[in-house]
Structure 1
Amino acid sequence: MASSTNTPIGGSRIVILTEGKTDPLTAKTANVMLRCRGEDVVAVLDSTQKGKTAQELLGVGGDTPIVGSLDEVEKPDTLLIGVATAGGKIPAEWRALCLDAVKRGMSIVSGMHQFLSDDAEIVAAAAEAGVTIHDVRKNNEKDVATRLDLTDDCFRVLTIGQDCSVGKMLSALEISRGLERKGVDSKFVATGQTGIMVEGDGLPIDCVVSDFVNGACEKLVRQNLSREVMIVEGQATITHPRFSAVSLGLLHGTNPHAMIYVYEAGRETMRGMDYLPLPSHKSVIDAYEHMAAFGNPAKVIAIAMNSRKLSDAEAEAERERMRAEFGLPIADPIRHGTDELTDAILAAKNARS
Structure 2
Amino acid sequence: MLKDSLTKYKRIVLLTDGYSTPFLAKTAISLLRYRGDDIAAVLDKEHAGQTAQQLLGYGESIPVVDSLDQIDADALFIGIAPPGGKLPAQWKPIVMEALRLGMDVVSGLHDFLCNDESFVVAAHERGAKLIDVRRNNENETAKAVDFRRECLRIHAVGNDCSLGKMVTTLEIQKGLQERGCDAGFAATGQTGIMICGSGIPIDCVVSDFVNGATERLVLAHQDHDYLLIEGQGSISHPAYSAVTAGLLHGCAPDGLIFCYESGRENVKGFDHRVIPEMERIYSAYEIMSNLRHPCKIIGMAANTRHLTEEAALAEMQEMESRFGVPVCDVYRFGCDKLVDAAIQLRAEIVD
Q: Under a length normalisation based on structure 1, what TM-score does the superposition of the two structures give?
A: 0.93
Residue 9 of structure 2 corresponds to: 11
- Where in structure 2 are there 5+ consecutive unaligned residues? none
The answer (yes or no) to whether the contact 2:175–2:336 under 8 Å persists in 1 is yes
Residue 3 of structure 1 corresponds to: none
* Structure 2 residue corresponding to 1:132, chosen from 108, 117, 129: 129
Distance in structure 1 (CA, Å) of the matches to 2:47 and 2:191: 23
* Structure 1 residue corresponding to 2:278, chosen from 276, 281, 286: 281
- Kindly tell me: are residues 19 and 273 of structure 1, through their superposed partners in 2, closer, same or farther at Cα, counting changes over 3 Å? farther
- Kindly tell me: are residues 58 and 314 of structure 1, through their superposed partners in 2, closer, same or farther at Cα, counting changes over 3 Å? farther
Q: Helix, strand or coil: the match of 2:149?
A: coil
Of 245-254 and 99-108, more deviation after overlay is shown by 99-108
Distance in structure 2 (CA, Å) of the matches to 1:9 and 1:113: 21
Report how far residue 321 of structure 1 moved.
2.0
Is the counterpart of residue 228 in structure 1 residue 225 in structure 2? yes
Distance in structure 2 (CA, Å) of the matches to 1:276 and 1:49: 37
Report how far residue 10 of structure 1 moved.
5.9
Q: Helix, strand or coil: the match of 2:77?
A: strand
Residue 34 of structure 2 corresponds to: 36
* Structure 1 residue corresponding to 2:314, chosen from 305, 313, 317: 317
Q: Helix, strand or coil: the match of 2:84?
A: helix
Alignment of 1:172-211 (within 5 A): 172-211=169-208
Alignment of 1:56-205 (within 5 A): 56-71=54-69, 73-205=70-202
Residue 18 of structure 2 corresponds to: 20
Is the counterpart of residue 259 in structure 1 residue 256 in structure 2? yes
- Kindly tell me: are residues 63 and 162 of structure 1, through their superposed partners in 2, closer, same or farther at Cα, counting changes over 3 Å? farther
Distance in structure 2 (CA, Å) of the matches to 1:98 and 1:134: 12
Distance in structure 1 (CA, Å) of the matches to 2:43 and 2:276: 36
Distance in structure 1 (CA, Å) of the matches to 2:317 and 2:284: 24
Question: Size of the alignment, in residue pairs?
Answer: 347
Report how far residue 341 of structure 1 moved.
0.3
Report how far residue 266 of structure 1 moved.
3.2
The answer (yes or no) to whether the contact 1:178–1:339 under 8 Å persists in 2 is yes
- What per-residue deviation string (whole Å, max 9, x for no partner) do you get for residues 151-189 of structure 1? 422111100112111111111111011111122111111
Distance in structure 1 (CA, Å) of the matches to 2:324 and 2:256: 15
- Kindly tell me: are residues 188 and 217 of structure 1, through their superposed partners in 2, closer, same or farther at Cα, counting changes over 3 Å? same
Distance in structure 1 (CA, Å) of the matches to 2:87 and 2:24: 13
Q: Under a length normalisation based on structure 2, what TM-score does the superposition of the two structures give?
A: 0.93
Distance in structure 2 (CA, Å) of the matches to 1:313 and 1:192: 33
Distance in structure 2 (CA, Å) of the matches to 1:152 and 1:305: 29
Distance in structure 2 (CA, Å) of the matches to 1:33 and 1:46: 16
Is the counterpart of residue 291 in structure 1 residue 288 in structure 2? yes
The answer (yes or no) to whether the contact 2:9–2:74 under 8 Å persists in 1 is yes
The answer (yes or no) to whether the contact 2:41–2:71 under 8 Å persists in 1 is no
Matched residues, percent identical?
46
- Where in structure 1 are there 5+ consecutive unaligned residues? 1-5
Is the counterpart of residue 238 in structure 1 residue 232 in structure 2? no
- Tell me how large the CA RMSD over aligned residues is: 1.8
Opposite residue 165 of structure 2, the aligned amino acid is K
- Kindly tell me: are residues 275 and 100 of structure 1, through their superposed partners in 2, closer, same or farther at Cα, counting changes over 3 Å? farther
* Structure 2 residue corresponding to 1:45, chosen from 28, 38, 43: 43
Q: Helix, strand or coil: the match of 2:257?
A: strand
The answer (yes or no) to whether the contact 1:25–1:165 under 8 Å persists in 2 is no
